[in-house]
Chain A
Amino acid sequence: MKNMNVTCNDRDRIFEDGTLAEWAALEAHATTCPPCAEELGAWKSLSFAAQELRDYTESPALWPRIERALAEEAERKTLRAERRGWFSFFRNIPIGWQTVAASAFVLVLTISAGWFYLHPPRNGQPGDQSLLKSKALKEVESAETTYVQAIDKLAAEAKRQLDNPATPLLANYHEKLLVLDSAIADLRAQAGMNPSNAQLRQQLLAMYQEKQHTLEEVLETKQ
């Protein structure tokens, strides 16, 4: 290799992005230049010192813990997929019809909620049982199922963006949807115990609508 001439002025540049030949030339220069010898020594020492921060000792409990967490998550994923499988027919319906179904649900739910509001059930009376089985309630529940499927479809489309949010805005949507899902789960649990509570149904409807709008906004950010 042809000898390369470097001076003290080249030192920082070589430290930052020098080739192997330039490093060799700097080493040679340092044998006759004490300031460069000192700097070169200090530079190499930092690499040596960095080894002190390297500790690759085994953590025997860590993999079993991660494996358990992964298995639990995989199981939850499978359960979710199975639940969706029940309504797989819905997913095969064109998106336009799903929107129609969703709108129909909102209409039925609004009318039913209004009906319940105007005709509040009298708690504790035997008539409640027949009310539970009323046609309106069945319609609400069936429409709700349809609407939830439509929202699930939207959620599946937005999933990729939400799982790996590229912007703080998407991260915010993700957080908001998690909060909404949790609130929906709570309200559904309460509505399950008291199906004819119109106020609960109205709150649930508001949550679903909010979720639908949020998902639509997420999907719009894709464009």
Chain B
Amino acid sequence: MGTMGLALPWKARISSTPRERGTRVEPSEHFAGGHHPAVVDAPSEDAALAAACRSGDLRAYERLYAMHGARMKNLARNVLGNPIDAEDAVQETFLKVHRSIASFRGQSSFITWTYRILINTCYDARRSRLRKKEVANEDSEETPRHEPRAPGAHPALRMALERALAKLTQHQRDVFLLYEVEGFRHAEIAGMLELTETASKNTLFQAKKNLRLMLEPPRSSAAEAR
């Protein structure tokens, strides 16, 4: 696997800012920082929101949007590569939730169910983009073309990471995005992607191993290559 020729910013790597979500016990939460919208919805709150949405109350959907809209759009953007498709996917997800809320039986949390719909919607959009490409006889590989976004602290790092993520398997990419970027727990990810918690952990491990090799191969293997 080739290197992206980019050194990770070791000096800046450890942030002492804990994640806002106090309940995630995986060690990586100690290293990652940054702002998160509220994610951990108490079961009763989750059920109340589901019931309000089922009753057709648009304010309930607005509450769902206020709690998760930004994160849903960010996830969709990372899967689809641009903000326009991401907004379309979020809107489509809300419509699908509205259409099928009657069939939601609470087997998983309402939020987990909503994200599952979002992820499926994103991949439907990717597939339909791929079909259009095939009709147009273009390159059949569907790799999201990431449009530039507002510059972060390390734009080169972000671009390298986006390129490396595009080379992962779909599951590895999803788990990495959900865990490391969006801050979900493995139990939540398992519900969203219909995996076991163990599979989610293992997939994250494989994803990070591959990313590590792509972004900066260990010095020992670089020496071997010489």
Contact = CB atoms under 8 A, between A and B. Distances in A.
Interface of A: 12, 15-18, 20, 23, 35, 38-39, 41-59, 62-63, 65-67, 69-71, 73-74, 160, 163-164
B6 to A, nearest CB: 10
B80 interface: no
A55 B87 contact: no
30 contacts: A15-B208, A16-B204, A16-B205, A17-B198, A38-B218, A45-B9, A47-B180, A49-B158, A51-B32, A51-B181, A52-B155, A52-B157, A55-B77, A56-B37, A58-B70, A59-B69, A59-B70, A59-B73, A62-B69, A62-B87, A63-B62, A66-B90, A66-B94, A69-B91, A69-B95, A73-B95, A74-B56, A160-B102, A163-B100, A164-B103
B215 to A, nearest CB: 7
A45 B13 contact: yes
Contacts of A160: 102-103
A72 to B, nearest CB: 10
Given A56-B71, A62-B87, A48 B208 contact: no
Interface string B75-99: 0011000010001001100110011
Contacts of B94: 66, 69-70
A18 B25 CA distance: 10
A50 B162 CA distance: 10
A156 to B, nearest CB: 11
B205 A70 contact: no
Q: Chain B: interface residue count, which band?
A: 35 or more
Contact of B91 (A35, A43, A51, A62): A62
For the complex of A and B, the 8 pairs showing the least CB-CB separation, nearest first, are A50-B180, A52-B158, A45-B8, A16-B205, A56-B70, A23-B27, A47-B32, A44-B31
A112 B10 CA distance: 82
Given A48-B14, A55-B150, 4 more contacts: A48-B31, A59-B69, A65-B91, A67-B62
Interface of B: 8-10, 12-15, 25, 27-28, 31-35, 37, 56, 58, 61-62, 65, 69-71, 73-74, 77-78, 83, 87, 90-91, 94-95, 98-100, 102-103, 149-150, 152-155, 157-158, 161-162, 176-177, 180-182, 198, 201-202, 204-205, 208, 211-212, 215-216, 218-220
Nearest to A78: B56
B28 A56 contact: no
A49 B157 contact: yes
Nearest to A16: B205
Contacts of A15: 205, 208
Contact of B149 (A48, A55, A66): A55
A41 B69 CA distance: 33
A61 to B, nearest CB: 8
A73 B99 contact: yes
